Amino acid sequence: QVQLQESGPGLVKASETLSLTCTVSGGSTTTNYYYWTWIRQPPGKELEWIGNIPFTGSTTYSPSLKSRTSISRDTSKNQFTLQLTSVTPEDTAVYYCAREVRVTATGVRYFDVWGQGTQVTVSS
């Protein structure tokens, strides 16, 4: 059974870089057709997709966050990492890592595994 666990500081100062790591257990970040994803939910708002790194190792980012976002992976540790630069209080949110499944034959996509989420607060 695949499990995801986010880790990282819960408090970041404005203008600094937010760094979070997602550790994957029971599975591999290089397994075909899985997309390892970061998602966040600011207080009182809907979930916001940040970006992903699929089994190929390439990355895709939300256009609104692309200039400040970097997602990478360490296959030896079975981890993938989010870095968000120049944070502001608007980046305060619960950050989730999740696994997206893409079924090539049907085009169906869905998230099947989520981490528990980690609160990150940006202080001004």
Q: What is the pLDDT of residue 83?
A: 98
- Whether 69 and 91 have beta carbons less than 8 Å apart is answered as no
Q: What is the pLDDT of residue 48?
A: 98
Q: What is the pLDDT of residue 27?
A: 84
- When comparing pLDDT for 27 and 84, which is higher? 84
Q: Is the pLDDT of residue 123 over 90?
A: yes
Question: Could you give the percent of the chain with pLDDT greater than 70?
Answer: 100
Q: What is the pLDDT of residue 18?
A: 97
Q: Is the pLDDT of residue 57 over 90?
A: no
- Whether 82 and 72 have beta carbons less than 8 Å apart is answered as no
